[in-house]
């Protein structure tokens, strides 16, 4: 039995022993006598997450090590905080919040751009035992209002503006508008003034961040139960009643600390960069908490993969700061590949220190995998997880035993995750047969224990369909070697004349075409066959081709590799795909446009102009 097989077996067969050992990597105020009981991990343990992320490293001689590197090409500023400096700023910010009446169990909404104060705000809440809820900076006022009403914060922490490559986004008018719409009224709003756009403060409610923190006494860590909530994160695209994913303190700290060395192979003192946003789960887990829990240096990047200023932006950050592990979304690599297909910008930088590239957030198509691996000459590791799970479900665990790569697969389930693929009757599908990807209960530490203020919805959404299993909402299959293939949301399986076909499989084929930078396939309504697949294609820079010729080549490619049953004939060349700010393609909205249904422009969209282009391209089809 290989090293990985043995670790995985122990995690599934002896979970209490396995996670009890992992818990020794965390400092406890009261060490848990019970590892798992009454459906919760470490139910009798007490700790403080901020202490584990900051104080203990300073106490053990790591105070002068850089903890946080803020690299902001949109402002031209780079700032480095050591562990000691970050601890001081967090303690004083926690003191400011304490002075505003925030205590353990209270909620604080954080509505901020990618600045160090956003990280400080999260850790300051954790220091007090308060529950933070980060709302992606620049979200529309209505979406912010809905989250404020649901979270009911005592204080809102915000900034005067966010900065995009081509514009400054004023946050304060959005916050003011949201507070007019919301029924809940927070006691105070603390605003970080940025020089690019200073905000007008409302007397009696709004405070200037710098002034408020300057006069605050540092606050010590507050001990909380392992089962107490650390944060609530509302899933992107939420409308109506929000779905707030809860993360607890104990299981979260244990799982994330364990994942840094075992999944990512990262060691204390190394520079780890998750190129995401603190508004998403990747930012929570792998910009803020996990790297600091592990004693690494984390990079906070305020920029884009292209356009700030060029497709070499990521490679500059890697080379300049000595990044050892880079984690980003496939869509970021596809954007770089589209603008620089030959990789010339990467060749300008010394990337010899980069050891791993991890990708997650969307399916990693084999073409993008091969491009990145050939360009960088290092392991490129697809891995798969969700907002709900908080850390990877499936990955190539380089800190245990790197396994052979199979392009298109995020490798095998990570220790702790008992993954199954079930048919409609709840039976395990044979290898190679697609079904619903589930995880047998109990979920490991770090996964959501419930939804905020909605236990019934938690059971309805995730646990009811297959009793004893967590429903991921994704479809896929396991192969004979136990490798998982995630082919997209269950909703993205289309029915063509009675044949169930995966749009993800078609996207994989289309992405292999030499002129295609990225693509999306949806199922459009058809009177005869029920649904027909339709592709939307973005071409690589310099690929000046006749769209009709491209369409014929793609149809032939899908026919050859999937078969005529796919009935794939129609594809549309567009300049960009509509995506959320986290990089997810808005396939459901594209389906509504293709079917002639009315559609809303989601507040999560990165580029609103992408949807009218889709609508225009579909006219007459």
Residues 275-307: pLDDT tens digits? Answer: 999 999 999 999 999 999 999 999 999 999 999
pLDDT level of residue 499 (50, 70, 90 thresholds): low
Structure confidence at residue 305 (pLDDT)? 95
pLDDT level of residue 2 (50, 70, 90 thresholds): low
What are residue 110's DSSP bridge partners? 134, 157
CA end-to-end span of the chain:
55
pLDDT level of residue 387 (50, 70, 90 thresholds): very high
Distance of CA 604 to the CA centre of its chain: 14
The residue length of the chain stands at 621
Average pLDDT over residues 99-118: 98
Close Cβ partners of 22 (under 8 Å, ≥ 6 residues apart)? 254, 255, 257, 258, 445
Position 233 pLDDT exceeds 60? yes
DSSP character string of 203-249: TTTEEEHHHHHHTPPP-PPPPEETTSEEEEEEPTT--SS--EEEEEH
Average pLDDT over residues 325-341: 93
Structure confidence at residue 1 (pLDDT)? 45
What phi and psi, each to the nearest 5 degrees, are found at residue 305? -70, -30
Structure confidence at residue 614 (pLDDT)? 85
Q: What is the mean pLDDT of the chain?
A: 92
pLDDT level of residue 236 (50, 70, 90 thresholds): low
Q: Highest-confidence range of 136-150, 230-244, 361-375, 445-459, by mean pLDDT?
A: 445-459
Identify the residue with better confidence: 375 or 238. 375
- Mean pLDDT is lowest, of 199-208, 316-325, 441-450, 589-598, for 589-598
Average pLDDT over residues 137-148: 86
Position 621 pLDDT exceeds 70? no
Domains of the chain, earliest start first: 497-618 (3.30.300.30)
pLDDT level of residue 566 (50, 70, 90 thresholds): confident
Return the closest-CA partner of residue 139 out of 235, 43, 48: 235
DSSP character string of 292-314: HHTT-EEEEE-S-SSSSSSTTHH
Identify the residue with better confidence: 165 or 14. 14
Average pLDDT over residues 188-201: 97
Position 180 pLDDT exceeds 90? yes
Structure confidence at residue 467 (pLDDT)? 96
Close Cβ partners of 578 (under 8 Å, ≥ 6 residues apart)? 585, 586, 589, 590, 605, 606, 607, 610, 611, 614
Structure confidence at residue 498 (pLDDT)? 56
pLDDT level of residue 237 (50, 70, 90 thresholds): very low
Instruction: Please give the Cα distance from 42 to 32 (Å, whole number).
Output: 5
Structure confidence at residue 241 (pLDDT)? 67
Position 503 pLDDT exceeds 50? yes
- Burial of residue 88 (CB within 10 Å: 0-12, 13-18, 19+) is middle
- Mean pLDDT is lowest, of 459-468, 470-479, 583-592, for 583-592
Position 563 pLDDT exceeds 90? no
Supply the angle between the helices 15-22 and 249-262 in degrees, to the nearest 10.
Answer: 80
Structure confidence at residue 98 (pLDDT)? 98
Which tens digit of pLDDT belongs to each residue from 34-76? 999 999 999 999 999 999 999 999 999 999 999 999 999 999 9
The 8-class DSSP code of residue 451 comes to B
Answer yes or no: are the C-beta atoms of 390 and 413 closer than 8 Å: no
């Amino acid at each position: 039995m290989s090293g990985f097989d043995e670790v995985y077996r122990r995690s599934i067969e002896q979970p209490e022993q396995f996670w009890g050992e992992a818990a020794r990597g965390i400092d406890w105020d009261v060490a848990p006598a019970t590892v798992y009981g009454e459906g919760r991990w470490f139910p009798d343990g007490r700790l403080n997450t901020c202490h584990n992320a900051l104080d203990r490293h300073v106490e053990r001689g790591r105070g002068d090590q850089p903890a946080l590197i803020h690299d902001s090409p949109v402002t031209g500023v780079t700032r480095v905080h050591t562990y000691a400096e970050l601890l001081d700023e967090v303690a004083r910010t926690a003191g400011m919040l304490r002075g505003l009446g925030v205590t353990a169990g209270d909620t604080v909404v954080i509505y901020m751009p990618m600045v160090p104060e956003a990280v400080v705000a999260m850790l300051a809440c954790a220091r007090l035992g308060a529950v933070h809820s980060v709302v992606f900076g620049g979200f529309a006022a209505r979406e912010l209002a809905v989250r404020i009403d649901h979270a009911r914060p005592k204080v809102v922490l915000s900034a005067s503006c966010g900065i995009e490559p081509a514009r400054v986004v004023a946050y304060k008018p959005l916050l003011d508008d949201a507070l007019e719409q919301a029924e809940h009224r927070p006691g105070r709003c603390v605003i970080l003034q940025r020089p690019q756009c200073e905000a007008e403060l409302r007397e009696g409610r709004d405070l200037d961040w710098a002034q408020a923190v300057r006069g605050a006494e540092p606050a010590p860590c507050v001990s909380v139960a392992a089962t107490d909530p650390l944060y609530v994160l509302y899933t992107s695209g939420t409308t109506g009643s929000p779905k707030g994913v809860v993360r607890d303190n104990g299981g979260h700290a244990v799982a994330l600390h364990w994942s840094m060395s075992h999944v990512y192979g990262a060691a204390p003192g190394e520079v780890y960069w998750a190129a995401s946003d603190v508004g998403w789960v990747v930012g929570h887990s792998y910009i803020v908490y996990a790297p600091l829990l592990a004693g690494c240096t984390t990079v906070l990047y305020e920029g884009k993969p292209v356009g700030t200023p060029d497709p070499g932006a990521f490679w500059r950050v890697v080379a300049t700061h000595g990044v050892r592990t880079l984690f980003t979304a496939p869509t970021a690599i596809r954007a770089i590949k589209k603008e620089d297909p030959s990789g010339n910008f990467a060749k300008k930088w010394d990337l010899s220190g980069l050891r791993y590239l991890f990708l997650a957030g969307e399916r990693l198509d084999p073409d993008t995998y091969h491009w990145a691996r050939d360009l960088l000459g290092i392991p490129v590791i697809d891995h798969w997880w969700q907002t709900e799970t908080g850390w990877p479900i499936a990955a190539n665990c380089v800190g245990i035993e790197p396994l052979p790569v199979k392009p298109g697969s995020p490798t095998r389930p990570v220790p702790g995750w008992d993954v199954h693929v079930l048919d409609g009757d709840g039976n395990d599908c044979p290898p190679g047969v697609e079904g619903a990807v589930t995880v047998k209960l109990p979920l490991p530490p770090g996964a959501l224990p419930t939804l905020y203020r909605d236990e019934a919805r938690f059971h309805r959404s995730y646990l009811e369909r297959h009793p004893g299993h967590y429903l991921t909402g994704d479809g896929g299959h396991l192969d004979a070697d136990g490798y998982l293939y995630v082919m997209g949301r269950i909703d993205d399986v289309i029915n063509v004349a009675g044949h169930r076909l995966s749009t993800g499989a078609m996207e994989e084929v289309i992405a292999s075409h030499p002129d295609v930078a990225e693509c999306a396939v949806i199922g459009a309504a058809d009177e005869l066959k029920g649904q027909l697949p339709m592709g939307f294609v973005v071409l690589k820079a310099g690929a000046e081709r006749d769209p009709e010729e491209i369409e014929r080549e793609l149809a032939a490619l899908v026919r050859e590799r999937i078969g005529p049953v796919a009935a794939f004939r129609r594809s549309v060349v567009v300049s960009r795909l509509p995506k959320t700010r986290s990089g997810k393609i808005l396939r459901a909205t594209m389906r509504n446009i293709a079917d002639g249904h009315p559609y809303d422009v989601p507040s999560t969209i990165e580029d609103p102009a992408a949807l009218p282009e889709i609508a225009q391209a579909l006219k007459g089809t």
